[in-house]
Structure 1
Amino acid sequence: MNLPNKLTVLRVLLIPFFAVFVLLYIPYHWIWALIVFAAASITDMLDGKIARAQNLVTTFGKFLDPLADKLLVMTALITLCFERLIDPVAVIIILSREFMVTGLRLVVANEGVVVAAGIWGKLKTAFTMVALVAIMALQIFFPDAKGSPDLNWNSTVFLVNEALIWVSVVLTVISGMKYLKGYWKYIDSSK
C-alpha cells in the first residue's frame, strides 16, 4: 500500500475518534475533536497531492478517497447537528447532494465514464471542512453557545454557525447542479 492510500486509510480510521470526542463530554473534548478533524482534513489534501506528484494514483485510492471524504464530512455534520450547533435542514440538503452525486457516479460508471471532481465540488469540500473547523473552534471559545431545541437565534455564535453552514449549502447545491447538468445525458429518461 502506497503512502497516499495509507493517508486515506488513516482518515477513515480517525473518523470514529472524531465522533467520540464530539459526543463524549470529557475535558477538552472540542479541542480533541478539532485536532482529529483537522488532521483528517489535512490527509485529504496530502493524499491527492502526493498521489498525483509521484504518479501513485491507484484504483483503491480512487475508490476510497472520495468515500473517506464523504464519511468524514457526513460524520461531522451529523454529530454537530446532534449537538444542536447547526441546522438539520442544512445537513439534510448537504447529505442529499452527496447521495445524488454518488448515485450519478454509479450510473455513469456503467457507461465507462468517470466523474472527476470539478472546481465547484472541490470548493464545496474545502469550504465545508473549513466551516466545520470554525464551528468547532467557536465551541472551544464559547462553550455554551448551542442552539436550543427551539433554535436560539439570539446567540451570535449560533448565527455564525448558521451562516457558515448555509454558505456550505449554497456551494453544495451549485456543485450538485453542475454535476447534474454535466452528466444529465446519462440519466435522461427520454433516451
Structure 2
Amino acid sequence: MNTPNKLTLARVVMTPFFLGFLLCDLPHHWLIATAIFLLASVTDAIDGKLARKNNQVTTFGQLLDPLADKMLTTAALLAFIHLDLCGVWPVFLILTREFAVTSMRLIAAAQGVVIPANIFGKIKTATQMVFTGMILFWGELVETFGFLKLNFAQVSNGMIWITAVLAVVSGGIYICKAKKVIDFTM
C-alpha cells in the first residue's frame, strides 16, 4: 500500500476517534476532537497531491478518498445535530448533495468520463472544513472558559446553513455538467 493510500486509510481510522472524543464527557474533549479533525483534514489535503506528484494514483485511492471525506464530514454534521448546534435541514441538504455528486462521479467514472470539481465545490469544501474547525474550537472555548455560550448554537447553525447553500449551488452546477456528459440510458 502506497503512502497516499495509507494517509486516506488513516483518515478513515481517525473518524470514529474524532466522533468518540467529540461526544464524550472528558476534560478538553472538544480540543482533542478539533486536533483529530484538523489532522484528518491535513491528510485530505496531502493524499491526492502526493499521489499525483509521485504517480501513485490507484483505483483503491480514488474510491476510498471521497468515502473517507464523507465519513468524516458526516460524523461531524450528525454530531452537531446531536449536540443541538445545527438543525436537521441544512445537514440533510449537505449530505444529499454529497451523495448525489458522489453517485454522479461513480457513474461518470464507470463510463470513462471525468468531471472535474468546480470552483463552487472547492469553496464549499474549504468553507465546510474551516467552519467545522471553528465550531469545534469554539466548543472548547465555551466548555473551558464558559464565555460566548449564548451565541454558540446560533452561530454554529448559521455556519452550517452557509455551507448548505454552497453545497446546493455547487451540487446543482456539478449535476448540470454531469447531465451533459453522462449517458443515463445504460
User: Aligned equivalents of 1:158 and 1:84: distance in 2?
Assistant: 7
Greater mean deviation of Cα atoms: 106-115 or 42-51: 106-115
Q: What corresponds to 2:164 in structure 1?
A: 169
Q: Deviations over 1:11-58 (max 9, x none)?
A: 000000001001111111111111111110110001112112222211
Tell me: CA distance 1:60–1:145, structure 2 relative to 1, closer, same or farther (3 Å). farther
Q: Is the 8 A contact 2:85 2:152 kept in 1?
A: no
Q: What corresponds to 1:151 in structure 2?
A: none
Q: Is the 8 A contact 1:85 1:146 kept in 2?
A: no
User: Aligned equivalents of 2:100 and 2:16: distance in 1?
Assistant: 25
Q: What corresponds to 1:14 in structure 2?
A: 14
Aligned-pair CA distance for 1:159: 2.2
User: Aligned equivalents of 1:109 and 1:54: distance in 2?
Assistant: 22
User: Aligned equivalents of 2:25 and 2:112: distance in 1?
Assistant: 48
Q: Helix, strand or coil for the counterpart of 2:108?
A: helix
Q: Where do 5+ consecutive residues of structure 2 fail to align?
A: none
Task: Determine if the alignment matches structure 1 residue 121 to structure 2 residue 121.
Answer: yes
Aligned-pair CA distance for 1:142: 1.4
Aligned-pair CA distance for 1:100: 1.1
Q: Deviations over 1:152-177 (max 9, x none)?
A: xxx32222212211111111011101
User: Aligned equivalents of 2:147 and 2:87: distance in 1?
Assistant: 14
User: Aligned equivalents of 1:39 and 1:17: distance in 2?
Assistant: 12
Aligned-pair identity (%)? 43
Q: What is the root-mean-square deviation of aligned Cα atoms in Å?
A: 2.2
Aligned-pair CA distance for 1:89: 1.0
Q: Which has the higher helix share?
A: 2
User: Aligned equivalents of 1:109 and 1:41: distance in 2?
Assistant: 25
Q: Where do 5+ consecutive residues of structure 1 fail to align?
A: 148-154
Tell me: CA distance 1:36–1:117, structure 2 relative to 1, closer, same or farther (3 Å). same
* Alignment match of 1:156 (pick from 129, 134, 151): 151
Q: Is the 8 A contact 2:141 2:147 kept in 1?
A: no
* Length, aligned pairs only: 183
Aligned-pair CA distance for 1:187: 6.3
